[in-house]
Amino acid sequence: MSDALSDDGSHEDSQEDVMTPAELIVKLEEAWLNEKFSPELMENRSEVVECVMEQLTHMEANLQRVKKGDAKASIHRMEIDRIRFVLSSYLRSRLQKIEKFFPHVLEREKSRGEGEPSLLSPEEFAFAKEYLANTETYLKAVALKRMPPNLQTVDMIKAVPQPYLDSFVFLRVKERQENILVEPETDDQREFVWSCAVDLNVEVCVLVWMAPGDHEPAEITRP
């Protein structure tokens, strides 16, 4: 992949113009896998979502022009279905995490500094707010308002479990990188020299499990 497509620079319009559909799908798949396998909510990639949806509409429109019974049409149709599945699955897993951790997600959004990119897309933010309000109203109406005065509130932050950030995740190395130091959790401050994934998205939230000892630096490159 070229530098123009690296993760940190994708928000600028000028760079999106150079993306081919194939590259776009690679980006979508990357976002999808990261989201699916990380325990917490990742940064939103609504620019990718929007582009893919545009692309899908475009493909559908193209398909309308193909005459019936053409073998090419069904291959394209299948491709559309697959892309739509990945896209839906990506959005679904985000939504599931938002529902599961809604107080924490909103809290993080609140404490977000000026200029920091938002975790949630505008529509996800609206959804999370509504979900919180809805659930609070419900609990209040059914039980809390009939409880003794000092027990009529529930602290959602405490009541709803947090994402488990110490869980293990698998990483795939995209680029060879020497001398990445992963701080060990153990007392003896052994240094692990490891060739490690440089995907920022994953690295932030994980504790990478590794067997101690001498290892040849592994190198797995993304096709």
Q: Which residues bind another protein (CB under 8 A)?
A: 49-50, 52-54, 57, 68, 74, 77-78, 81-82, 84-85, 87-89, 91-92, 95, 99, 122-124, 126-127, 130-131, 134-135, 137-139, 141-144, 146-148, 151, 154, 159
- Would you say 71 or 211 has its CB closer to another protein? 71
**Least distance (Å) between residue 88 CB and another protein:** 4
CA distance linking residue 49 with residue 55, whole number of Å: 10
**Least distance (Å) between residue 166 CB and another protein:** 24
Check residue 2 and report its DSSP letter: -
39 Cβ contact partners less than 8 Å away, ≥ 6 residues apart: 163, 164, 165, 167, 169, 205
Closest alpha carbon to 108 in 43, 154, 168, 169: 43
**Least distance (Å) between residue 145 CB and another protein:** 10
CA distance linking residue 25 with residue 101, whole number of Å: 28
- Would you say 87 or 197 has its CB closer to another protein? 87
CA distance linking residue 205 with residue 200, whole number of Å: 9
- Would you say 110 or 145 has its CB closer to another protein? 145
CA distance linking residue 24 with residue 83, whole number of Å: 11
- Would you say 6 or 137 has its CB closer to another protein? 137
- Would you say 85 or 170 has its CB closer to another protein? 85
**Least distance (Å) between residue 142 CB and another protein:** 5
**Least distance (Å) between residue 213 CB and another protein:** 38
CA distances from 197 to 148, 177, 204, 208, 221 (A): 53, 8, 11, 10, 10
